[in-house]
Amino acid sequence: MPREDIRQYAVFFLVGLLPWQFFSNSLISGTVSTTDGSNMIKKIYFPRELLPTSSVISNLVHFMLAFLVLLVFLYASGLFLTIHALWLPPLLLTQIIFTLGLAMILSTLNVFYRDVLMIIDVILLAWFFLTPVIYPLEWMGQAQTILGITFEPAQVMRWINPMASIIDGYRTVLWGTLASDGPVGMDPLYLTRTFVTAIIIFILGYLFFTRFKHLFAEKL
């Protein structure tokens, strides 16, 4: 299916791109937050967790401002917020928790291995194309059967890629689906599963960060 068959492709694309930019920019700035704050870490004591957290919050502010512009664009395109927009706060909360957990892990690793940012740039590029930003999740294909096990590629992608569920969630409640004429409700199961994954990543990230933060001043 060519992109011309996707209604209002500009809206479709922007609704997926803005959350992705918030995610990727937060990871990049979060990764270098500890090394960029090395002078403060060496001179004064403060909760080190503030460094990756402030990076995520800063990018969150930029995202919210861009989102306001997106809303204007939606209205200009004939799309309006519906009752389904009530899914936006839990979607955003899930994304923040997931992003902050990863940022804590990466900011810790970057203290000990300074080439982490280069690796993250490559990973984010691949991750972008594995996430339905420029294409709908439905393009993943029909159900497949391998070794007697039937699965749907789109569902598998939601399982292994939390950002796929998050981006698809934003798009579903703001733009809709290929089969709809406008915004529709999202499946609570997908968001619940992604939220649980985000919580797990956050806990692991926090524990990893606190395990090594006492070494930051020595290594920086």
Could you report the per-residue pLDDT of 41-56, keeping only the tens digit for each? 988 888 999 999 999 9
- In the chain, % of residues over pLDDT 90: 71
Please report where in the chains the tokens 């909760």 appear, as a residue: 47
Q: 47-61, 104-118, 174-188 — which is least confidently predicted?
A: 174-188
Strand partners, 145: 150
End-to-end CA distance of the chain: 51
pLDDT over 60 at 20, yes or no: yes
How far is the C-alpha of 159 from the C-alpha of 154, rounded, in Å?
Answer: 9
Contact 20, 167 (CB under 8 A): yes
How far is the C-alpha of 46 from the C-alpha of 48, rounded, in Å?
Answer: 6
pTM of the model: 0.92
Q: What single string gives the DSSP state of each residue in 106-170?
A: HHHHHHH-TTHHHHHHHHHHHHHHTTTTSS-GGGG-S-EEETTEEE-HHHHHHHH-HHHHHHHHH
Which domain covers residue 43, as residue numbers?
A: 3-219
pLDDT at position 146: 58
Residues 172-183 have a mean pLDDT of 91
Q: Which residue from 158, 186, 159 is spatially nearest to 172, judged by alpha carbons? A: 186
pLDDT at position 197: 96
How far is the C-alpha of 144 from the C-alpha of 157, rounded, in Å?
Answer: 13
How far is the C-alpha of 14 from the C-alpha of 25, rounded, in Å?
Answer: 16
Confidence of residue 138 (pLDDT cuts 50, 70, 90): confident
Number of domains the chain is built from = 1
Residues 18-47 have a mean pLDDT of 94
Instruction: Report which secondary-structure segment, H or E, holds 20.
Output: helix 9-31
Confidence of residue 184 (pLDDT cuts 50, 70, 90): very high
